[in-house]
Structure 1
Amino acid sequence: MTALPSDARDWLDATGFTVKDEALWHAALTHGSMGERQDYERLEFLGDRVLGLSIADWLYAQSDAPEGKLAQRLNAIVSRAMCAQVARGIGLAPHIRISKQASSDGGRDSDNILGDVMEALLGAQFLDNGFEIARDLVRLLWRPALESGAGKSKHPKSALQEWAAGNQRRPPQYELIDRSGPDHAARFTVRVKVHKVGEAQATANSKQEAEKEAAREFMERYG
């Protein structure tokens, strides 16, 4: 059995995690740069789903908003940036087991690494204690984000950008496909695409407005 450092164990307990199988938590805190057989990647995969279901469950219970609005809030709350923000708030960085080189390259303050380890810890919480206990901890740690209204009213282009990032998709691409009418009353048609997801288009009196409406249409269709 791989033992946790005592300071990491104390920190996990104080933060609200319930540690039984120390090897599981040791892996959750271990970055791939350490070259060990077990690191956080598999647990991060699992924790990402635990987080998503926990937040979706909360949003569904708290609101009668339509699916598109729920998805917009979900994507904002489970985003990599939000996971990293939660990680910083609970003081995760010093407890990540990471190589000196990766640490000197800024690994401990990387949104990607902080977010991934945060999700790995949720995966460990789920495996060690079951979904309900993991969900309750998510609600505790993410409460500021849930109560702040994150993702409620976001510019459609920002919402689409976050949705694409949150779903590991390429950034959305906007293309002006038509311009018609006289200069004083021009009409612009813009198409937005997300690779391997789909596309949407909209027409408006300016290119910027057409982009915004195309993003809104995309989110309503696919978000």
Structure 2
Amino acid sequence: MALKRPIGETLAGLVKAKTGHVFQDIRLLETALTHSSAVKAASNNQRLEFLGDRVLGLVVADMLFEKFPEAPEGEIAPRFNALVDARTCSEIGIEMQLEDLVRADAALKMRSRGSGGNYLADAVEALIAAVYVDGGIDAARRFVLRYWEPRSRTVVAKPLNPKSDLQEWIAKTSDARPEYVIEKREGPDHQPVFTVSLQVRGFAPISGAGGSRRAAEEAAASAFLLREGVWVDTSTQKSEGARRPNEGSAA
């Protein structure tokens, strides 16, 4: 039987240990950790997620600007993109062990357990916003730097974009264009599953599925690139980001 999700002062104490911030407005904190899929929730973290994304971007951009004073924009931009990517936020959510603190649909959490998922990335961004609203930019900066600054020391690159990679690969030899067609949409409104068919003239069609149309299209494009040998599947690693372009492939 799952443990009851902490609320109130108990939740605030757990979050303090993870963020270094003591929340004055505990209701704000609870909202930050409530996903839109939560049943009968009076409010959710969508607005805070929007704000948190901007606060995160500002703090990370400022950090990189100060940390790499000689680096040109072309060098720090890919690093910035990787650090603010949803996958990074999801990884940090796992590191912070937020899975048991976020209020969300049980099936959604079970499906994403151990791998993060968008709901956890959303919670991290919303939590950044909540710290900012409750304690100001300095408090938000301390929270962000705690988790993002160590990651900035490693060599990072812009996360792979399967749709863009596919378009560029096709353009090398033909004027064909990839066409994405929704085959079906299943599940409830708060937890949909899209299946998309990808068709490229001269190639067999292939399908992909995901929690949004964009995710399904990216899954189909990834599957196509792997099938045609454009990408190499390093499947001993679990994440999508473990895939790397096959530099030796040609259309």
Task: Indicate the TM-score class for this superposition, using the shorter chain for normalisation.
Answer: 0.5 to 0.7
Per the alignment, residue 161 of structure 1 pairs with: 160
Report if aligned partners of 1:32, 1:98 keep a CA contact under 8 Å in 2: yes
Letter in 2 for 1:118: V
Per the alignment, residue 134 of structure 1 pairs with: 140
| 1:62–1:23 Cα change, 3 Å | same
Per-residue deviation, 1:76: 0.6
Per the alignment, residue 10 of structure 2 pairs with: 7
Letter in 2 for 1:133: A
Per the alignment, residue 42 of structure 1 pairs with: 47
Per the alignment, residue 83 of structure 1 pairs with: 89
Letter in 1 for 2:14: W
Work out whether 1:70 is the aligned partner of 2:106.
no
SS of residue matched to 1:148: coil
Per-residue deviation, 1:38: 1.2
By relative contact order (CA 8 Å, sep 6+), the higher-ranking structure is: 1
SS of residue matched to 1:20: coil
Per-residue deviation, 1:147: 1.8
- Taking the aligned partners of 1:118 and 1:161, their CA distance within structure 2 comes to 22
Report if aligned partners of 1:87, 1:118 keep a CA contact under 8 Å in 2: yes
Letter in 2 for 1:113: Y
Q: How many residues align?
A: 173
Q: How high is the sequence identity, in percent, across the aligned residues? A: 31
1:22 equivalent among 22, 26, 47: 26
Per-residue deviation, 1:13: 1.1
Report if aligned partners of 1:93, 1:109 keep a CA contact under 8 Å in 2: no
Per the alignment, residue 54 of structure 1 pairs with: 59
RMSD: 3.2
Structure 1 residue ranges without an equivalent (≥5): 152-158, 165-170, 180-187, 192-207, 214-223
| 1:5–1:21 Cα change, 3 Å | closer
| 1:120–1:178 Cα change, 3 Å | closer
Report if aligned partners of 1:43, 1:119 keep a CA contact under 8 Å in 2: yes
Per-residue deviation, 1:103: 2.9
| 1:68–1:95 Cα change, 3 Å | same
- Taking the aligned partners of 1:60 and 1:48, their CA distance within structure 2 comes to 18
- Taking the aligned partners of 1:114 and 1:177, their CA distance within structure 2 comes to 36
Report if aligned partners of 2:12, 2:22 keep a CA contact under 8 Å in 1: no
Per the alignment, residue 218 of structure 1 pairs with: none
Structure 2 residue ranges without an equivalent (≥5): 1-5, 178-229, 231-244
Q: How does 1:72-221 map to 2 (within 5 A)?
A: 72-106=78-112, 109-151=115-157, 159=158, 161=160, 171-172=163-164, 173-177=167-171
Over residues 15-72 of structure 1, what are the superposed CA-to-partner deviations in whole Å (9 max), with x where a residue is unaligned?
A: 1133111111110011112232311111011101111110100111111211121110
Per the alignment, residue 234 of structure 2 pairs with: none
